[in-house]
Homo-oligomer: A and B are copies of this chain.
Amino acid sequence: MIEAPEDTTDASETLQGSLADVVALLGKHRLVEQLVHKQDMPRHALVESLVHKQHLAELQKRLDALHPADVAFILESLPLEDRLLVWNLVKAERDGEILLEVSDAVRETLIADMEPAELVAATEQLDTDEIADLAPDLPEEVIEDVFQALSIEEREQLRAAMSYAEDSVGALMDFEMVTVREDVTLEVVLRYLRRMDELPDHTDQLFVTDRQEQLKGVLPIGRVLVSDPDALVSDVMGTAPARLHANDGAETAAQAFERYDLVSAPVVDERGKLVGRVTSSAVIDFIREASDADVLNLAGLREGEDIFASVWKSAKNRWTWLAINLVTAFVASRVIGLFEGSIEKLVALAALMPIVAGIGGNSGNQTITMIVRALALGRMQFANARALLAKELAISLLNGVVWGGIVGVFAGLLYGSVSLGLVMTAAMTLNLMVAATFGVMVPLLMSRFGRDPAVGSSVMITAITDSGGFFIFLGLATLFLL
């Protein structure tokens, strides 16, 4: 067995290990604290206070050795009291980068624990685009102080960075690009680079600009290395596979990075002037957060919860959705109420009606998911909506005959009534067709009216297929069975 270099991180193991160590050290610390408090023996107090301090010192050493993202992970994994204890052990100059890494919910708890002066100090180590990311969570006085401490160029950048909408390319952008002129030799470029202490992270290419800061092309670092040093930049540079605009949606950047396998991409303004760059790490963070938000939205949660958040805070996060669903459930209940007379006469209807509503909801959600995807990928304008609707209707007819048929036979046998079975099959088929129609139309109409079809279409389709399913089934039964 060969030893790994000492401080290399094995991605799969070390993080859980660090968390376990921190928890163990916290445990020792708490134990000593309890002893000191409970026993209250003056003779031992001094010794225990020393041991106590030793554990905290050990913990601090451990934390100092960890990557900011790993400290963030540990903070997120601890209950509030332990979290703040660990947070106060973190070196002040690392506060900023760790605040950037923690989730929004946890960041709030940490910032609430800090003095304004500490917060101002925390931002001092950060780039302007990073300060812009923190800004929404900072008290106004802190932002003003931070602003005063910046150079004119930085203020300009911060103002720009804070002006972009949350899910825009501008919000992903940073300003750490290296630019060169096209009329110099690679030799000159190499000398220029050597004068820097290090290149900014994710510098896979230099941006070639003219005196008006117009983007003329890009110069991949690899090409600087392998080409003749006497060659001119203009001979070696290429065109950027993708140029982004600061006001484009961040999803545009994500698609460009996915499609063209980018590490960085230039961002230009409407006149072609280079204003910043987007890196793969900003894109990865965006994609993860966006997909997380999708899953949370589908489950009816407003935002990610700190798992140690209070009951009250968690409940509020979940109420909007529960309230909306109660309203739609109430509407469905009133639809059933219309047919109470029929149910009294044929109580089997009460037992069978949830099946009709359920299959409509499931099938409608399947259709909606397909359409929302097609819209997100920009396929819908060409894939004729009418053709898609026809296809979804055909699928629901097929499903209605097959699954509705099976359920109809079961229901008919169970209640000894052929006509009840037939009504069941007919109602399921009709509700599946309602689901297909609205499943295609709801996201299309939402997107036509400029709303994000991914948010809320699922609630709407379920509301429609519930009330619709009850109405169709109980209505058909009233007409044909009573």
- The answer to whether B326 touches A403 (Cβ under 8 A) is yes
Residues of chain B lying within 8 A (CB to CB) of residue A290: 291
With A225-B225, A304-B373 in contact, is A336–B354 under 8 Å at CB? yes
- The answer to whether A252 touches B11 (Cβ under 8 A) is yes
Q: What does the 1/0 interface line of A5-38 toward B look like (CB < 8 Å)?
A: 1111111100110010001000000000000000
The distance from the CB of A272 to the nearest CB of chain B, in whole angstroms, is 5
Residues of chain B lying within 8 A (CB to CB) of residue A137: none
- The answer to whether A359 touches B322 (Cβ under 8 A) is yes
Q: Once the chains are docked, how many angstroms separate the CA of A175 from the CA of B321?
A: 48
Residues of chain B lying within 8 A (CB to CB) of residue A265: 11
Q: Does A416 contact B (CB under 8 A)?
A: no
Q: What does the 1/0 interface line of A262-304 toward B look like (CB < 8 Å)?
A: 1101000001100000011101110110111011101111001
Residues of chain B lying within 8 A (CB to CB) of residue A87: none
- The answer to whether B350 touches A336 (Cβ under 8 A) is yes
Residues of chain B lying within 8 A (CB to CB) of residue A482: none
- The answer to whether B366 touches A318 (Cβ under 8 A) is yes
Q: Does A374 contact B (CB under 8 A)?
A: yes
- The answer to whether B283 touches A284 (Cβ under 8 A) is yes
Q: Does A357 contact B (CB under 8 A)?
A: yes
Q: Does A478 contact B (CB under 8 A)?
A: no
Interface residues of A in 377-394 (CB under 8 A from B): 377-379, 382-383, 388, 391, 394
Q: Once the chains are docked, how many angstroms separate the CA of A470 from the CA of B214?
A: 67
One complex includes copies of this chain to the number of 2
Q: Does A450 contact B (CB under 8 A)?
A: no
Residues of chain B lying within 8 A (CB to CB) of residue A284: 254, 257-258, 280, 283-284, 287
Q: Does A203 contact B (CB under 8 A)?
A: yes
Q: Does A121 contact B (CB under 8 A)?
A: no
A263 and chain B: residue at smallest CB distance: B263
Q: Does A77 contact B (CB under 8 A)?
A: yes
Q: Does A334 contact B (CB under 8 A)?
A: yes
A285 and chain B: residue at smallest CB distance: B258
The distance from the CB of A339 to the nearest CB of chain B, in whole angstroms, is 9
From A42-50, A112-120, A189-197, give the one contacting chain B.
A189-197
With A248-B12, A311-B398 in contact, is A261–B281 under 8 Å at CB? yes
Q: Once the chains are docked, how many angstroms separate the CA of A76 from the CA of B344?
A: 53
The distance from the CB of A215 to the nearest CB of chain B, in whole angstroms, is 8
From A57-65, A144-152, A237-245, give the one contacting chain B.
A237-245
- The answer to whether B12 touches A245 (Cβ under 8 A) is yes
With A253-B11, A321-B362, A363-B318 in contact, is A203–B222 under 8 Å at CB? yes
Q: Once the chains are docked, how many angstroms separate the CA of A255 from the CA of B368?
A: 30
Q: Once the chains are docked, how many angstroms separate the CA of A336 from the CA of B353?
A: 10
- The answer to whether B391 touches A295 (Cβ under 8 A) is no
The 8 Å CB contact of A252, one of B12, B202, B216, B349, is B12
From A66-74, A88-96, A126-134, A159-167, give the one contacting chain B.
A66-74
Residues of chain B lying within 8 A (CB to CB) of residue A403: 322-323, 326
- The answer to whether A242 touches B332 (Cβ under 8 A) is no
A6 and chain B: residue at smallest CB distance: B239
A411 and chain B: residue at smallest CB distance: B333
Q: Which 5 A-B pairs have the closest CB atoms?
A: A291-B291, A199-B222, A299-B369, A261-B281, A69-B259
Query: Please, could you name 7 A-B residue pairs with CB atoms under 8 Å apart, sorted by A?
Result: A198-B226, A311-B394, A318-B399, A322-B363, A323-B403, A325-B359, A329-B358
